[in-house]
Amino acid sequence: MKKVALITGITGQDGAYLTELLLSKGYEVHGIKRRSSLFNTDRIDHLYQDPHEKDINLVLHYGDLSDSTNLIRIIQQVQPDEIYNLGAMSHVKVSFETPEYTANADGIGTLRLLEAIRILGLEKKTRIYQASTSELYGLVQAVPQSETTPFYPRSPYAVAKMYAYWITVNYREAYGIYACNGILFNHESPLRGETFVTRKITRATAKIAMGLQDKLYLGNLDARRDWGHAKDYVEAMYLILQQDTPTDYVIATGITTAVREFIRMAFAELGIEIEFIGSGLKEKGYVISCSDPEYQLETGKEVVAVDEKYFRPTEVDLLIGDPTKSKTLLGWAPKYNLKGLVSEMVASDVDLFKREKLLKDSGYAIKNQFE
Ligand code: NDP
Ligand code: GDR
């Protein structure tokens, strides 16, 4: 018998990698996508199966985590063995501007799924994974952060995710549902949303090197994150739902790196050496050398500057995870290191902007984007 999985947030970074993984394991995968005025399935279009054909393994349903009747109907129809709740308003900075919506989708959305499982009497059949986050640790209490480190959320996003974390634990304890939190530290990839810091950096690195962008404006360059690769992290999600006993796990690499260092690594991928001068809002990044003849950046060019609009009202300064429990109980370990991740992301963005460069060189105007 094929296992059936339902993924909320299937159109996001993790949704795309998880769908690939589950299809490769022979699952029938159902996903919830939101109605949008533009196509929003870019990340999973390569997995498309014509719904008119028989025996397809990937089916999308319109829905939203703010709509409980919709969720109940989809779960009743799909009868999933596993639900992966990846859907969320996932941008920390944006959550300060949309706190109520974030609480609804990220916090109460999780409750709606758990309640749907109860209402439909699926407590013994359906296992559920909750996409919890290292943002729960927030203001540093202790490092490295493990499953027993106290939480101190620092954004409306993190507070909403804190509700989701505890309601998942509560439904496990109260109703015996196989419900688990994966407390995942930051994970990135070429599919990462364009406004998260790593992707913003790798896109800008490619564009600046190719003469398509002048400068990269960022916020807090001192923040430190434990960055892994999304491909490794979706393996952990899958493993978390395959154990005999449900529990919560930290998924991390155990290595922390500053934003500034990530920028250096990204430019270095293209043979460009960067030096940072100044501090705080006055800090700037300059080109010291450019060894690849393909990219013609003059020494001394200012390519990075700080803009206070990217600072958050309350920041999370330092994240470094302790993945001992997941290593021991799940046998999970990351296959990628940060160098490999940065290299893949920069190469992918260089590829992406080759077309734009060709258009520019042929005299066509380049489209700018809001971020
Ligand atoms: P993305 O932002 O790439 O994807 C989020 C997904 O959620 C998208 O498919 C989005 O749809 C969907 N979504 C947003 N709002 C709703 C809603 N109201 N109802 C239904 N779906 C909705 O996030 P990631 O893939 O990076 O992250 C996956 C999950 O893991 C998220 O919950 C995130 O908070 C959490 N997380 C992520 C980490 C990371 O480093 N990436 C670390 C720890 C936790 P659309 O495409 O239409 O916008
Ligand atoms: P984060 O990721 O907030 O950790 O949440 P993000 O990449 O947005 O920020 C990481 C750090 O970089 C600093 N920063 C900037 N961030 C952005 N986005 N844009 C900038 O210009 C910029 N300049 C500096 C930030 O201040 C921060 O310290 C991600 C999301 O995927 C969450 O959903 C997830 O839960 C956590 O990771 C773990």
State the CATH number of the domain containing residue 98: 3.40.50.720
264 CB near ligand 1 (under 6 Å): no
Answer whether residue 369 is part of any domain. Answer: no
Q: What is the DSSP letter of 334?
A: -
The number of the ligand nearest the C-alpha atom of 201 reads 2
CA of 59 to the centre of ligand 1 (A): 19
The CATH number of residue 280's host domain is 3.90.25.10
196 CB near ligand 2 (under 6 Å): yes
The number of the ligand nearest the C-alpha atom of 13 reads 1
Q: Which whole number is the average pLDDT over 58-73?
A: 98
> Are 218 and 122 part of one and the same domain?
no
Task: Give the amino acid at 59.
Answer: V
> Are 41 and 126 part of one and the same domain?
yes
> Are 179 and 294 part of one and the same domain?
no
The number of the ligand nearest the C-alpha atom of 65 reads 1
- d(C-alpha 184, C-alpha 252), whole Å: 6
Percentage, residues of the chain above pLDDT 90: 96
Coil, strand or helix at 327? helix
List pLDDT tens digits, range 22-42.
Answer: 999 999 999 999 999 999 999
132 CB near ligand 2 (under 6 Å): no
> Are 124 and 203 part of one and the same domain?
no
Query: Of all atoms in ligand 2, which is nearest to the CA of residue 199?
Result: 7
Q: What DSSP line would sit under 173-218, residue for residue?
A: HHH---EEEEEEPPEE-TTS-TTSHHHHHHHHHHHHHTTS-S-EEE
Q: Which one of 155, 184, 213 terminates a domain?
A: 184
Ligand 1 atom 38: residue of nearest CA: 186
CA of 117 to the centre of ligand 2 (A): 33
Q: Which whole number is the average pLDDT over 91-96?
A: 98
62 CB near ligand 1 (under 6 Å): no
List pLDDT tens digits, range 318-370.
Answer: 999 999 999 999 999 999 999 999 999 999 999 999 999 999 899 988 777 77
User: What range defines the domain where residue 79 resides?
Assistant: 4-184
Q: Which whole number is the average pLDDT over 75-85?
A: 99
According to the model, what pLDDT value does residue 175 have? 98
44 CB near ligand 1 (under 6 Å): no
According to the model, what pLDDT value does residue 365 have? 81
CA of 197 to the centre of ligand 2 (A): 5
According to the model, what pLDDT value does residue 371 have? 74
According to the model, what pLDDT value does residue 287 have? 98
Q: Which one of 184, 211, 244 terminates a domain?
A: 184
List pLDDT tens digits, range 131-170.
Answer: 999 999 999 999 999 999 999 999 999 999 999 999 999 9
> Are 102 and 129 part of one and the same domain?
yes
218 CB near ligand 2 (under 6 Å): yes
Answer whether residue 230 is part of any domain. Answer: no
Answer whether residue 326 is part of any domain. Answer: no
Query: Of all atoms in ligand 2, which is nearest to the CA of residue 158?
Result: 35
Query: Of all atoms in ligand 1, which is nearest to the CA of residue 132?
Result: 44
According to the model, what pLDDT value does residue 190 have? 98
Give the tokens for residue 2.
């094929």
> Are 26 and 167 part of one and the same domain?
yes
According to the model, what pLDDT value does residue 106 have? 99
The number of distinct structural domains making up the chain is 2
> Are 174 and 276 part of one and the same domain?
no
Answer whether residue 237 is part of any domain. Answer: no
Which residues are known catalytic residues?
A: 133, 135, 157
197 CB near ligand 2 (under 6 Å): yes
64 CB near ligand 1 (under 6 Å): yes
Q: Which whole number is the average pLDDT over 235-250?
A: 98
Q: Which one of 157, 184, 211 terminates a domain?
A: 184
Rounded to the nearest 5 degrees, what angle is found at the Cα of 10, between the Cα atoms of 8 and 16? 145
pLDDT, greater one: 1 or 236? 236
Closest by CA to 6, choosing from 66, 69, 50, 71, is 71
Answer whether residue 202 is part of any domain. Answer: yes
List pLDDT tens digits, range 192-211.
Answer: 999 999 999 999 999 999 99
Predicted structure pTM score: 0.98
> Are 154 and 215 part of one and the same domain?
no
The torsion region of residue 122 among left (phi > 0), alpha (psi -120 to 50) and beta comes to alpha
CA of 92 to the centre of ligand 2 (A): 7
Coil, strand or helix at 273? strand
Q: Which whole number is the average pLDDT over 47-54?
A: 94
> Are 131 and 270 part of one and the same domain?
no
According to the model, what pLDDT value does residue 366 have? 77
List pLDDT tens digits, range 117-131.
Answer: 999 999 999 999 999
> Are 177 and 204 part of one and the same domain?
no
> Are 101 and 68 part of one and the same domain?
yes
Question: Is pLDDT of 292 > 90?
Answer: yes
> Are 15 and 111 part of one and the same domain?
yes
According to the model, what pLDDT value does residue 370 have? 77
Structure ipTM:
0.99
Ligand 2 atom 13: residue of nearest CA: 220
According to the model, what pLDDT value does residue 369 have? 79
